Amino acid sequence: MTVSDLDSWFGEEALKLASRFDNRNGNDSYMKNLGNLKALHELAQKQKNHSQENSRGI
């Protein structure tokens, strides 16, 4: 099992749990939080890549 496999598995499990909590609570709060977290991770990855490019003079 690779890190990518684990990432996918945890992502799927988080979506299942968020959906269950939202169904129980009658809202979409947990799904919104997961969406925001994903956007934050993507932004952090872009920043990391940009910083690495700058440090190499690219």
The pLDDT tens digits of the residues spanning 22-56 come to 999 999 999 999 999 999 999 999 999 988 888 87
Domain interval for residue 34: 3-55
Residue 58 in this model has a pLDDT that exceeds 70: no
- The total number of structural domains in the chain stands at 1
Distance in angstroms (rounded) separating the CA atoms of residues 44 and 57: 20
pTM of the predicted structure, to 2 decimals? 0.71
Note whether 14 and 34 are within 8 A (CB). Answer: yes
CA-based R_g, the chain, Å:
16
